[in-house]
Amino acid sequence: MLALQQIRERPDWVREGARRKGEGAPVDEILTLDAEARRIRSEVESARARQRAAGAEIRGAPTQEQHEELTALKRSIQEGDTRLNELDARLESLLLEVPNPPHESVPFGTTPDDNVVVRTWGEPRRFEFEPRSHLEIGEALGIFDFERAAKISGSRFAVLRGEGVRLQRALVACMLDIATREHGYTEIAPPYVVRRDAMVGTAQLPKFEDDAYHSDDDMFLIPTAEVPLTNLYRDEVLDTSQLPISLVGHTPCWRREAGAAGKDTRGYIRLHQFDKVEMVRFTTPERSLDELELLTRHAEAVLQRFGVMYRVMLMCSGDTGFAQWKKYDIEAWAPGMERFLEVSSCSVYADFQARRANIRFRAGADERLRFVHTLNGSGLAIPRTFVAVLETHQERDASVRVPDALRPYMGGVERLAPRA
């Protein structure tokens, strides 16, 4: 969330930031209501001052004139306070609709073609046979059961079997070990169900409420571990010596994918429920852009360990999300599908989330409180990483060579073999 003062002092910057993202922003309505609120607040303060002065002038029983004046002042103050409460609530609601203006280094663009390739790692594997898709490999290995998943839960759900489950567990365990043992993250096992204010705190709400799974008692299934991990420090004041804070968690995630009708309807690519390892960082404003580069490298390290070719994309303004200040996507190459798959988005939010969640820090005893900057990134999304590993390391007979990094997590298994 932006500060009201930012909108008051730099309305054109806010409008331009929204335009660059292809979003709307109720700047004019905010400014109008803010002006009214400031006028009424001034009137109420003047009325209270007059009320105190009038009360001090009374000696003994008030005269009729004094009584009428005090009654009128009391009524004016009550009416003003009522209107101020209405205006403050409306302003708070409108502020939640204003997107975070992108950082100046974010290129302007409106389509995926405007995203910029920053770097690539590895080369597409050259096969001596026609590479299969993960669906074909999964059929040969007997690890997917989409038909029974649909019977249980409907479309866009999956059942994994046997060695497929084992491979997925290995992916998760390896990712968590890389994050904790090599990059210094603290592992967190958070709740999977959160309150509305937690979703507001990370800016999933109100904009993306239609994409969330929501219970009758106003609780939400998490769309990403970013929500509970970021909200761990909601309404807290951190000491600068604690920063940066680096957290990682593995959770299932739930998304309705309300705007994805017809996209990737088959396979293990776009699901309503999927697992993800998420990294979250809290830092100072001076360090946040450097922390974004570091976070992205941490996510890349996982794909390198798995021997999967990938590219890093700097997302254009139109593909930089509502709350994000700057974002990199990491896309893994899936040779069977002949396409890149997004396996991680690494983003910095400036203080946009911290203002909503009220997460602040103090540099010293005499320093003023400031909002932290927050970052998060997938480390990685499990299903698409699973797909990239299957398709990259497949063999002619539809077997899959297990990457060296995963073998210790699979009891030394070197190869997933097709069913007899």
Domain boundary among 95, 130, 147: 95
Contact 349, 324 (CB under 8 A): yes
For residue 53, what are the domain limits? 4-95
Residue 220 lies in a domain: yes
Same domain, yes or no: 286 and 324: yes
Active-site positions read 255, 270, 342, 345, 384
Same domain, yes or no: 90 and 127: no
Same domain, yes or no: 75 and 213: no
Query: How many CB atoms lie under 10 A from the CB of residue 162?
Result: 12
Name residues whose C-beta falls within 8 Å of residue 116's C-beta, 6 or more positions apart in sequence: 107, 313, 314, 316
Structure confidence at residue 265 (pLDDT): 67
Phi-psi region of 326 (alpha: psi -120 to 50; beta: other; left: phi over 0): beta
Domain boundary among 64, 95, 126: 95
Residue 410 lies in a domain: yes
Q: How many domains does one find in the chain?
A: 2
Same domain, yes or no: 207 and 68: no
Residue 104 lies in a domain: no
Q: List the alpha helices (DSSP H) in 243-287.
A: none
Nearest alpha carbon to residue 384 among 253, 256, 293, 233 = 253
Token duo for residue 135: 């669906």
The upper half-sphere exposure of residue 185, i.e. CA atoms within 13 Å in the direction of its Cβ, equals: 28
Same domain, yes or no: 47 and 175: no
Name residues whose C-beta falls within 8 Å of residue 270's C-beta, 6 or more positions apart in sequence: 156, 257, 260, 263, 264
Same domain, yes or no: 91 and 116: no
The total number of residues shown for the chain amounts to 420
Name residues whose C-beta falls within 8 Å of residue 280's C-beta, 6 or more positions apart in sequence: 225, 226, 229, 230, 246, 247, 248, 249, 374, 375, 376
Name residues whose C-beta falls within 8 Å of residue 213's C-beta, 6 or more positions apart in sequence: 220, 221, 254, 255, 256
Contact 222, 228 (CB under 8 A): yes
Quote the pTM value: 0.93
Structure confidence at residue 6 (pLDDT): 97
Structure confidence at residue 367 (pLDDT): 83
Same domain, yes or no: 279 and 370: yes
Residue 361 bridge partners (DSSP):
238, 370
Q: Tokens 């396409």, residue?
A: 339
Alpha carbon distance 334, 337 (integer Å): 6
Same domain, yes or no: 47 and 190: no
Structure confidence at residue 260 (pLDDT): 57
Angle at 319 (CA atoms; ends 314, 325), nearest 5 degrees: 70
Residue 328 bridge partners (DSSP):
314, 346
Token duo for residue 407: 């073998």
Structure confidence at residue 338 (pLDDT): 96
Same domain, yes or no: 134 and 241: yes
Both ends of the chain: CA-CA distance in Å?
A: 57
Encode pLDDT of 199-253 as tens digits. 999 999 999 999 999 999 999 999 999 999 999 999 999 999 999 999 999 999 9
Counting as low any pLDDT under 70, the low residues of the chain are: 258-265
DSSP state for residue 102 in the 8-state scheme: P
Taking each continuous run of H as one helix and of E as one strand, the counts in the chain are 12, 15
Residue 392 lies in a domain: yes
Alpha carbon distance 286, 194 (integer Å): 31
Token duo for residue 63: 């005269």
Same domain, yes or no: 58 and 172: no
Nearest alpha carbon to residue 88 among 127, 7, 33, 29 = 33
Same domain, yes or no: 84 and 132: no
Q: Is the peptide bond before 244 cis (omega within 30 degrees of 0)?
A: yes
Q: Report strand pairing: 116-121 vs 400-401.
A: unpaired
Contact 188, 176 (CB under 8 A): no
CATH number of the CATH domain containing 69: 1.10.287.40
Alpha carbon distance 317, 293 (integer Å): 18
Domain boundary among 70, 95, 120: 95
Residue 358 lies in a domain: yes
Structure confidence at residue 376 (pLDDT): 99
Same domain, yes or no: 169 and 250: yes
Residue 312 lies in a domain: yes
Residue 100 lies in a domain: no
Longest dimension (CA), the chain: 104
Query: How many CB atoms lie under 10 A from the CB of residue 223?
Result: 20
CATH number of the CATH domain containing 379: 3.30.930.10
Residue 329 lies in a domain: yes
